[in-house]
Each structure stands twice: as C-alpha cells, then as structure tokens.
Structure 1
C-alpha cells in the first residue's frame, strides 16, 4: 500500500513539474490550441516571375524559396486590383476596393483615404488582444487622421505613400511633390532625400519587424510588413548593391529575400516559429515600362495597371509549421480578398460588421485539397470599371479603354519607357487553363460560357456598379474624407 502511494506521489510530482515547466517556458501542452501570431509580408510591384522558384534569372531568393518548401505556394493567386492604394485597401478589409469607394493610388496630401468605419485585420485582431504593427508603406491616406494608428495598429514606422512620389520623380511634371517623409506613429522622424536614404528602407523596416517580434514573443501579435520595394526608384543597401547578375532589380530582390530570412530566423530564435502563420505576396504585377528596373510577369499578359493576368496574378506563399503541410503547390483560385476571413478563422475572431467579399480558405491551408471556396472573381480598374469576370478557368474580358505596354520599347536605368494609357481593348473569352497568356479569344466557340459569365457581370453591376455603363451599385460605401 505504501509502495502504491509512493508511486502515485512520484507520478503526481512528475506531472506537476512538467506542467510547471510548460507554463514557465511559454510552451503549450500537446493537444491544446494556442492563438497564432500573424506575419503578413506584402511587396510592391513584384511580378509573378520575380522569385527563383517562379523563374527569376541571375539572382536567387533562397529564404522565400525555403518558405515555399516549408509551406504552400499558390499559383493562381490574384491581387484585388493592379494598383497600390486599391490593392492595400482590399487586403486589409477583405472587400473589393470599389465597394469602399477606393481606386488608384493616393498622392501626397490626399483628401481621401480608407474610411475609419471599415474594419481592418489589425482592428479585428486588436479586439482579441493582439499587439499590432505595420512597418513599411501604408498608402491609404496620409493625413494624420488616416494613418495606421486610426485603423487598429499600435505601432507604425514607414512611408505614407509610394516612394516615387517625391521631388526626384523622373517625370518633371510631378516635380512639385512635397518631401517624402518617414513617419513613426503620426510624427515625421526623417526625410527620404535621395537614393542613399531609400537604400536603407528595407534594413530599417526589417530591424523594426524583428524587434517587434522579440518584444511581443509572449503574447499574440499581428505584424504587417508592406515593403516599399521593388517599386521604383530602386535602391539597395551596400551589403547587396551590385551583388546580383540582374542589376539593381536583382540586388533589391536579394535584399528583400534577406529580410524575409531575418523575420523567419527571429521567429525560430524566440521559439514561436510553430505558432506563427506567415503570408508572403505582392500588391500587383510589374511596372513593365521601367524595363531593367521592372520585374517579370512570368509570361502572363501585360503588367501593373491592367486587368490581364500579368497585372493581378502574383506569387503567394503561406507557411505555418505543423499546421500547413509542407511542400504543397495549389492551383486553387485564391485572392487577396480572402486573407482577412482566413485569418479571422484561424485566430477565432469575428468578421467585420459590414459586408465583405473575401472567402475563408483555411481548410486548403490545412491540407484539404477537395475544397474550392472561390469560383468567381471580378476584375475592376480605374474608378469603378468592371473590365473582366472569371468563373473557374474561364475569363471574359469586356471591351474597355486600358493600359498596354505592348509595342513600346521599355525604359532603362530608372527612366520609364512609353506606354498607352487609353488603348482600346477589344475584349474576349479566354480559357486560362490552356491559354494563361490570354492570347486566343474563343468567344465565338463557347456562347454558353459567355452567357453564364455575363450573368455574373450583371449581378456584379447591380451590387457594385460599373462606370463603363454609367451604373451605380446598391452596396457601395464611401471612402474616408478629410473634414474641412
């Protein structure tokens, strides 16, 4: 009897010691769930072909490649629009940007921005007790009342809009831009005066990001890292300048890859790697008329500023060790709109009160390849122009005035080449499974497909409107505006 009592006592003390050890080290007992950290890395103007795993030449992106090997890579991922402010609004809110009254790229001293009534990823997670931070490019309104601190972020360090919106812009008609400032919180801390200053952006952002991880390792956090690069003007720090065989663009991509590696290493160092969901993607495709300073659309048609695939199809990689099975490649249709509801699901938080357009794809992340949550997508551009609709692999492009880079010699050495902003695009039906380059119009061969896609377009016009048809939508919401 004494022996049994002694044995039970030993087992009790052993279990008690194990529990104490788990609690003291911040570890989670096996079988228990823990709210994951979220890291969202968002590049600017990185095209589909700008990673070594997607065909980049004369430079390597080993850290991003490793992230893909340890997680899932989506080959059919679309940004919400092919332009800066609109795509960022969609990413953070899960809404088509035209639903929010947002289009284009806001300039300095913009009188509009993201409406404070819209709920961002940061606000949803902050309500659940997350620490939240953004280090990089905001571009959703530069007035103090429109900066990240008004949209759920505890910390902000970066540039308020694109870093080509400065007095050194190569287009002299825009030489009246004000100084480009680095902002911390809502205060100006430094002016970005030249390319040497711009060359320090990636390192400064990375330093802030890794420090934030260290400071918040014991509680859940949301870290948003929207790099200003590889948007022009390109600049790389001394540790990467002239290191690639692709010129300054390759140097910049190598430095961004280094930044991703630093973030992943810090997560491991702080022993929170397995409890952190990391997402890596881009706001739109490459700005092709910048030539050797632009990225690659990876064989897709056109680039930034267009609703062809080269403008909106970009890499997307998701990594979460132990939850997202490693080494998977998915061709499921996924979009930037879908990131907010997916994060809300894995973090067990509520969705925004107002209507969103995103669809949760967390089951795909966790290995259920039978899921196809998204079947349709609407391609909008300019103010509220419905330029194309998609159902599965079928894409119907409507006639519209649009940008084309084709037929023009690209620029070089940081100077833009010509393009046509008002080219008359005839439209057509494309089977993206067989013709991802959108070169062969098969509209006349599949009238039933055209009819089905036109019905989707009609429903979209009723919901969101269509400026090309002078129609307003029933469910649009206003952008935020600065009070006089």
Structure 2
C-alpha cells in the first residue's frame, strides 16, 4: 500500500472564527467548509505558540520552540539566529522515500547556517525568508543543488503563485509519496487582494484574501482529483496562531500575541483524505500542531527517532477512528514562560498582559481557573468553586515550568529588562 502524500496548508494569522465550518458567517469559505464536510474537523486544536516563529518551529519539529532557542517572540530581519540545523523535522523523519517542498513563508532563520530551508530536509523551496511586512524582501528558490535564485515579490499574486507551485510539485512527483508545507503569507498584513478576483467580500480586504485562499483550496482539491491523487493525499489546513488586527477569534478571548487566552492559540484544523479519513467527523479531542510530525510518521509507517524527545503525539487514532486525544493536557507558552495549561475541561491561566507588562498572576495571588465546557470565552474564574481542581492545575503548571523553562537558559534570547516585567504602574 502506498504511503500517503501529505499537504499542509498553513495560513498566517487566520482566526478560529473566520471559516464557516467553525461558525463564521461573514467571510464565505465554501471550499474549506466542503473540505471539513468530507473529512475531519478538530474543534480544540492549538498552535504551539501565540506568534509566528515559535509556532512554525513547533509544527515542523514536533517540539516546543523553547527546545530550539526560538521561544522568544518573532525573528526580525536583523536577527542571525534560527532553527538549529540539526533539528529533526517532518521531511527528515519522512526520509528520502518522500519528495518534500516548502512553498511560502519560512521565518525560522534567514542567515546561514539557518538558510535556506533545504538545509532542513526539504528537496525544494520557493518562498519568503520571513513575514511579508518585513524588509528587505525578495522571493527565493532553492533545490539543494544549484544556487539560490532571487526574484522580486508580486504581493498581489503570492497566494496564487504558492498554490500553483504546490500543484506543480504534486504533478512532478505524482509517482512517489510527497510532503508539501504550503505556508501562506495571507491573511497576515499587508492585505493585498488579487486583482483578478473582483467579487469582493463583506469582510473587506481581510475577507477578500481569505476568500482567495478558499478558492485556491478548491482548485487544489479538484486538481488532485484530476491527477488521480485525491484518495492518496492527506490535505490538512490550519493557522500558525490567532488573528492579528483583523479576523475573528470566534467565541474565544483575545487574539494573536495574547499571553494565555484561547484566541491567540486556538486555530482551525481540517484534515481530508477520501476513503481513509471518515467524512463529516467533528472531534473535540485536544490536539496541537506539535502532533503533525508524529501523526504523519505513523500514517507513513515511519519510526520516530528514539533519541529525540517529542512533545507532540500521534493523532492518527483520532483522525482515522475517532479515538480520544493522546493528550492529558496542552501547555501554552508566552515566550519562554508557561502561561497556561489546558485539560479536557479546565484551563488554568497564570500569565497575561496589562498594557505592555507581562503579568505573573500568581505573584498577585490571582491565578485563574476556567471551566471551558461552560465558559469557552474565559470570562469567569471559578477556582473558588473548585479548589481541588485549582490545586491539580497549579501542580500541572509547576511541573511544566520545571520541565521546560530551564531549557531557555541554554540560549541567549532577548528579554525585557527586569524593571519592565511583572511591575505595572
């Protein structure tokens, strides 16, 4: 039996509430809604960070970014650090049997030895070194053999170009398994709609770029069918974090960059593979983008390296058979600090922001316990009503902090001065 092809479509700053299948009503997403109806939708899926660089590091490696020195904020054009070249990544795990490509945004280091992405197991790369609101900016191509090719960026046609390159790579490798990470730049600002798409959107420019993504998802799925690859290809759709200036967090609190709240981490997730994944499945199983690496390895029949401690878990049982989550808890980080822990029912928040201050709520005797089953918007702390739960969650936070936070000392990240942390005026 052929190992599955895998295409991950990663939107940039797309909110949980932007898709119709997740409750959105303003932006029209018929193709993604149909993809959900034909596959599996996870309602409790988390990005592994609330901003771009650490979330992408988590997705690609199956490990929290703190293990790689990338937990602090977002890489800027002047930065020289990046994902360590020895990091185990999805294409490295899938191995040479898979043709692999990164198409779109990288944002895990743009100076050698962290550049180009072909150093991390990808056979081909076409895309941007970092976010398209940063400068200097160019589009690059690399195949691991020839020189790095640079060309100007046509912002209005980036989404179209990235989907076209995805189709071309699938066509070129139709006779062998392939893995494609299609890392879109939309709907991150600046918002530059394709001039050929003139239908407009009730959600303005943001809606236009999301609806262009949706149209291209439809075209991609149709083309996979025409190539006879539909049943052999697992297509997953998600976002790197919650929405930024525009977009909807759905019923959840806050948005991108929020220290601990659901709106910054809870993101859409849809997976579709006709004949393999059961159509029309909706699951509330706890899951994270850390889980993609071990899940794809399991579905490809590949053993994980025994000398690497992965934070993600294999979701194949959830996707294929509707099994419960392999997670007892999900840990949420704000930079290199544990900000919250989520279990199936409960959420315990220990960090948030007041203005620009990163507040350690425990310092003020005010950690917050939320019952997400009754209060998904995290509006009422109920620790006084459930003291035994609060104690259990407090212990979970302490264990997570003891396990992960010391790892940050192995690196030298930029941190806020002590006088600006935990001291509101």
The two structures share one fold, judged by TM-score above 0.5 = yes
- Corresponding residue of 1:402: 353
Say whether residues 1:299 and 2:251 are aligned partners. Answer: yes
User: Contact 2:283/2:322 (CA < 8 Å) preserved in 1?
Assistant: no
Alpha-carbon distance in structure 1 between the residues aligned to 2:186 and 2:367: 32
Identify unmatched segments of 5+ residues in structure 1.
Answer: 1-32, 167-178, 404-419, 466-471
Contact persistence 2:15–2:249 (CA under 8 A): yes
Supply the distance in 1 between the matched residues of 2:10 and 2:18 (Cα, whole angstroms): 14
Q: Give the 3-state SS of the residue equivalent to 1:445 in structure 2.
A: coil
- Alpha-carbon distance, 1:443 to partner: 1.0
How far, CA to CA, are the matches of 2:373 and 2:77 in structure 1? 41
State whether residues 139 and 160 of structure 1, in contact with CA within 8 Å, keep that contact through their aligned partners in structure 2: yes
Alpha-carbon separation, structure 2, partners of 1:58 and 1:303: 18
Aligned to 2:322: 368
- Deviations, residues 365-423 of structure 1 (Å, cap 9, x unaligned): 11233x331121111112x111111222111111x3526xxxxxxxxxxxxxxxx3326
> Aligned to 2:356, which of 396, 421, 424?
421
**1:134 corresponds to 2:91:** no
Deviates more, 1:426-435 or 1:206-215: 426-435
Q: TM-score, normalised by structure 2?
A: 0.90
Name 1:161's counterpart in structure 2.
Answer: 130
Q: Which residue of 2 aligns with 1:282?
A: 239
Alpha-carbon distance, 1:62 to partner:
1.2
1:477 to partner: Cα distance: 6.4
Q: Quote the offset at 1:242 in angstroms.
A: 5.5
Residues 244 and 251, structure 1, Cα contact 8 Å, conserved in 2 = yes
One of 453, 459, 463 as aligned partner of 2:393 = 453
Measure how far apart 1:133 and its partner are. 0.3
Distance 2:108 2:372 in 1: 32
Q: Distance in 1 between matches of 2:208 and 2:9?
A: 19
How far apart, CA to CA, are the structure 2 residues paired with 1:446 and 1:56? 33
The whole-number CA distance in structure 1 between the counterparts of 2:211 and 2:58 is 27
Distance verdict in 2 for CA 1:221–1:477, change over 3 Å: farther
Q: Residues 144, 100 of structure 1: CA spacing in aligned structure 2 closer, same or farther, 3 A cutoff?
A: closer
Residues 256-307 of structure 1 deviation map (CA, whole Å, 9 limit, x = unaligned): 01121122112111101101111100000011xx3xxx11000200000022
Structure 1 CA distance, aligned partners of 2:61 and 2:358? 31
Partner Cα distance (2:118, 2:410) in 1 = 22
Take 2:190 and 2:22, find their aligned partners in 1: how far apart are those partners? 23
Post-superposition shift, 1:239? 2.0
Q: Partners of 2:90 and 2:164 in 1: how far apart?
A: 23
Aligned to 1:21: none
1:65 aligns with 2:22: no
- Residue 12 of structure 1 corresponds to which residue in structure 2? none
CA distance 1:477–1:347, change in 2 (3 Å): farther
Q: Max radius of gyration: which structure?
A: 1
Indicate the SS of the match to 2:221: helix
The 2-side partners of 1:361 and 1:401 are apart by 30
SS state of the match for residue 356, structure 2?
strand
Q: Does 1:37 align with 2:5?
A: yes
How many pairs align? 400
Query: Equivalent residue for 2:150?
Result: 189
Matches within 5 A, 1:44-443: 44-103=12-71, 104-127=73-96, 129-146=97-114, 147-166=116-135, 179-185=136-142, 187-192=148-153, 197-241=154-198, 243-287=200-244, 290=245, 294-306=246-258, 307-352=260-305, 353-369=307-323, 371-382=324-335, 384-398=336-350, 400-402=351-353, 420-422=355-357, 424=359, 426-443=366-383
